[in-house]
A and B are shown apart, each in its own frame.
Chain A
Amino acid sequence: MSDGGSQAAVSSDEKPASTPGSAKPDAILLVDGIRRSFGGLVAVDVDHLEFQRNRITALIGPNGAGKTTFFNLITGFDTPDAGTWTYDGRDMGSLPAHEVALNGMVRTFQLTKALSRLTVMENMKLGAQQQRGENLFRSFNHRGWKRQEAEIEARADALLERFKMDHMRDEFAGTLSGGQRKLLEMARALMTEPAIIMLDEPMAGVNPALTQSLLGHVKELRDEGRTVIFVEHDMDVVRDISDWVVVMAEGRIIAEGTHEEIGANTQVIDAYLGRHHDSTLTIDDDNPFLDQPDGSSSESAESQD
């Protein structure tokens, strides 16, 4: 699919209203009344939120806004106190995490989860779905799955090449740098051929030289017909690739809109900068909004990994 074709598809749809919880044409994921508290702290409290199919939606918000918790909830890694959500019309509320993934909704983690003592190639192959050889009884008969394995390997090699990681295919994932692990995790998630891919801070710690090509890959995902939801702090990145921006603060959705609208929204500026800052929020090349405080904290989170 060409880039131009999908751009046309984007503009042919009418633009959703820029109010929190607005209805979207062809929504793939609908979230209702989802709530999660830790002790007294309400980490997530979202009344209603819709994600449009085949779009790149950025989920932004200050640290501790509840973005990761929100991801955990809708991917089955955490259980909400209340709330329902549907994916492609299916109720996902009671599904365990692996079944969410099997349904085509695949996420990556803010703190990368490279499988250290597996090689890069083994990490990649793990992402492939419907593998005959993953059944215990069929695993013994190596002839029964060798052909599928070869197909999977070819697909993995192509993806590794696309992510410029082909030279590391036989290294243990544990030897990769933080940025390389991010790349591997994203490439591995793509091996599942997801319908929705949810990326939690995919660019954090990635070598700036690679960021551009990574952004290209994310756009390609949309052009292949996938839906992308990603958490990001760097507004340059958000402006560059997102079709829609959702802003979270203190567990709630406080704004939605295109990145131009969000950049002009005073409520968002307050949520991000608080009263201690007096700089204005502008989204342009020489004012990368906020990548400093949040960027550094996600770096430190990375090092705990």
Chain B
Amino acid sequence: MDWATIFENGLKAGIRPEAAYFALAAIGLNIHFGYTGLLNFGQAGFMAMGAYGLAIPVFAYGWPWWIGVFFGLLAAVLFAVLLGVPTLRLRADYLAIVTIAAAEIIRFIFRATDLREITGGSNGINGFSSGFFDLNPFSGTINIGPFDFTAREMWVMIVGWGLVLIGIGLTYLMIESPWGRVLKAVREDEDAARALGKNAYSMKMQSLIIGGLFGALAGMILALSQGSVQPSPTDLGPPKTFFAYAALILGGTGRLWGPVIGSIMFIALLAFTDNLLRQAQAADYIPEEIITGTEVGVIRFVLLGVGLMILMLYRPQGLFGDKREMAFDV
């Protein structure tokens, strides 16, 4: 077994665009869940808004790509308002149900055959990203230390991680302010916040919109990194939302850097176990009868799930959470 390659590929995955867009999605979920206590199970829906918002204006109308950025963000705001108005006055679980359903409905609408001219139907949209890559300052192969990246990948990485840093900066400014304090108060006890003159409903709506905007940015980076938008469950379905949650919980909810560290670790660990299992197979350490090649992709998720369970048992606050916050019942 080539341990150097296993670790190298794990580390490389941790900085690739996939980790960056998970980090953006998880930053959004951290604002929703970590700071406001909102259970948004439809982050993939916000990502779809960003991805399709970016791609449709180019694909269907031939507009410049940056108009798509504007549309993607606008669509995420509208989606948040649409979800928030009927649910945010109700008990917390209503939002969870409505968001997961709405995100799936959105995905099915995007893949509807009747909308093929606009959304590409079940084929999705390809070839909307040339405008973005025209701005690419890189060419050829770029190597950073032991890692080689293509110019396209490098450009998406720079933009993706740049957005992550800006996102963390903005989150810091918001959360470490009186506004952030009200947000956390709503998370702890909405009625207590209202009794002190705070408009809990408005705070929850603002949170849903802001976290949704990060979801939309995640969707755009996803779309750009793949050069295509697909209405498939793996790209924009519920698994995306739950992996983003897994990353957030791994890093620590309600912690500024939790979603970023968590996403890097999550993607790196997936790649690491994937490489490990494949090499173990190739070296015949794992007989073909036990795990076949195609099963590796599934097994690594099982291992990661077990890992997360162990983490929750021994470090429920996540890798970077504050243990004191877990010391009492909330």
Contact = CB atoms under 8 A, between A and B. Distances in A.
A163 interface: no
Contacts of A109: 191-192, 195
A129 interface: yes
Contacts of A236: none
A192 B185 CA distance: 15
Nearest to B192: A113
B325 A126 contact: no
Contacts of B182: 126, 134
Interface stretch (B112-120, B198-206, B218-226): B198-206
A153 B48 CA distance: 43
Interface in A125-145: 125-127, 129, 131-136, 138-140, 142, 145
A185 B48 CA distance: 43
Interface stretch (B68-76, B170-178, B272-280): B170-178
Given A113-B189, A116-B188, A117-B330, A172 B196 contact: no
B197 A115 contact: no
Interface in A95-110: 96-99, 101-102, 106-109
A53 interface: no
B194 A117 contact: no
B188 A118 contact: yes
A264 to B, nearest CB: 36
Interface in B204-246: 206
A145 B177 CA distance: 9
A189 B196 contact: yes
A125 B181 contact: yes
Contacts of A191: 196
B261 to A, nearest CB: 20
10 contacts: A98-B194, A109-B192, A115-B192, A116-B328, A117-B330, A134-B178, A136-B206, A140-B170, A140-B173, A142-B173
Given A96-B194, A145-B178, 15 more contacts: A76-B194, A77-B194, A98-B200, A108-B195, A109-B192, A115-B185, A117-B187, A127-B196, A131-B178, A132-B178, A139-B179, A140-B177, A174-B327, A175-B327, A192-B197
